[in-house]
Structure 1
Amino acid sequence: MSMFQGEVVRRPVIFLLCLLPTIAYANVVWPSLYLETRLFSWWAIGIGLLVEFFFVKWLFTLSTKKASIATMSANAVSAIAGIVLIPLAGIGWELFPGSVINWAFSWGTFNPITWGATFFLGCLVNGLLEGAVYKKWFSPEFRYKSKAFLWLLAANSLSVGAAFISLWLKPVQL
């Protein structure tokens, strides 16, 4: 079968899949998007960098200069990649566990369990991305299955937590 013939077969299949009735998930990403907008505010970035600097300096026993560079580098990577990954984590949550919970309790997307999952996923995504930077360039002995990673998650929970709390102190205006 040539490449052209394979394309001819795929087009009708894709068209038929588009005709299948599906549930509209237009609002599934909003909790994670709300959190993401606050993660990019200047004060959340400042709190995150300050808190994580001390954790990184202590965790990896780095000099002040190297801890500053490590913290800035890791947070730059997590900010850039997080633009896509945090909303995707929110969509992933809503497609499986979130939709089951919403159905079981007759809740919408903005419910306490989803907000808790959004907070956890924000911490986890940031922790995984920052951990990759620390492991690659600053602390090759860093392991994800270690107390160091749990401390990194704790540091991220403080900075993500500040952004998260701000959603209740000053809600997003549409």
Structure 2
Amino acid sequence: MADGECPKKGQRLLPKVIFGICEILPRVDVRAAYSWYYYRPFLLWAITTGLFVKFAYVRFFTRLGWSRCAIVDVTMNAVSSLLNHIAVPAAYLAWALPRLALNQAFGTDDADPVNWVALLLLMALISAISDALVLHFVFSQRLGQKWFWLLYVVNTMCVAAAACGMYFFLVAHPPTA
């Protein structure tokens, strides 16, 4: 390649992706809200919403008695809450490369709503998988594909309520740097 010649598009993309990966952690966007100070309100909203919405799902899906549904509901929420300590960073890491490609292709930023929505949808998927595993292995309830996707919608509603609650908390208590 001559001095004034521009490298091919694919040759320019690899360094940009590598530099983009290196920029994942130092930036302040999702990770600023993922601190214990802001994570507690997120869990509060997620657990509160989850207890009510998942109870209705379990009652409709399993046709168990009220007390048994409450036990299943509390167990599913406890496992989901514990798994959220792993789900948030896992969702962020799973979205890292698609996020870089999206940011590169459309000129978006890490703080754009599409990145937040994608993270919330991944978190809901991880929670739905954990709830399905609890139903299957702990309570011997088999889920079909239709019921799993309904569980995903239920978890999406819980995560959306938690995200709204965290947004209101962030507005009331803005981060200081």
Q: Which residue of 1 aligns with 2:25?
A: 26
2:63 matched residue in structure 1: 61
The Cα offsets for residues 53-104 of structure 1, whole Å up to 9 and x where unpaired, read as 011111111111111111111111111122012211112202x110001112
Read off the aligned partner of 2:43 and give its amino acid letter.
F
Q: Which runs of 5+ in 1 are unaligned?
A: 1-19
Q: Is the 8 A contact 1:29 1:87 kept in 2?
A: no
Partner Cα separation in structure 1 for residue 158 and residue 23 of structure 2? 33
Please list, as runs of the form range in 1=range in 2, the aligned pairs for 1:115-134 lying within 5 A after superposition: 115-134=116-135
- The question of 1:159 aligning with 2:161 is answered no
Q: Partner of 1:8 in structure 2?
A: none
Q: How does 1:67-146 map to 2 (within 5 A)?
A: 67-94=69-96, 96-143=97-144, 146=145
| Count of residues paired in the alignment | 151
**Could you say if the C-alpha distance between residues 134 and 27 of structure 1 is closer, same or farther in structure 2, counting changes exceeding 3 Å?**
farther
Residues 142, 100 of structure 1: CA spacing in aligned structure 2 closer, same or farther, 3 A cutoff?
Answer: same
Q: CA deviation at 1:164?
A: 1.5
TM-score when normalising by structure 2:
0.74
Alignment of 1:29-40 (within 5 A): 30-31=29-30, 34=33, 37=39, 38-40=41-43
Structure 2 residue aligned with 1:49: 51
Whole-angstrom distance in 2 between the partners of 1:121 and 1:61? 29
Distance 2:82 2:135 in 1: 16
Identity of aligned residues (%): 25
Secondary structure class of the residue paired with 1:40: helix
Q: 1:59 to 1:67 in 2, by over 3 A?
A: same
- Which runs of no fewer than 5 residues in structure 2 stay unpaired? 1-17
Q: Which amino acid aligns with 1:86?
A: V
How far apart, CA to CA, are the structure 1 residues paired with 2:147 and 2:84?
21
Classify the secondary structure of the residue corresponding to 1:67: helix
How far apart are residue 130 of structure 1 and its match? 0.8
Alignment-mate amino acid for residue 90 of structure 2: L
Letter in 2 for 1:51: V
Structure 2: how far apart are the matches of 1:139 and 1:93? 32
AA of the residue aligned to 1:115: W
- The separation in 1 between residues aligned to 2:81 and 2:28, in whole angstroms, is 18
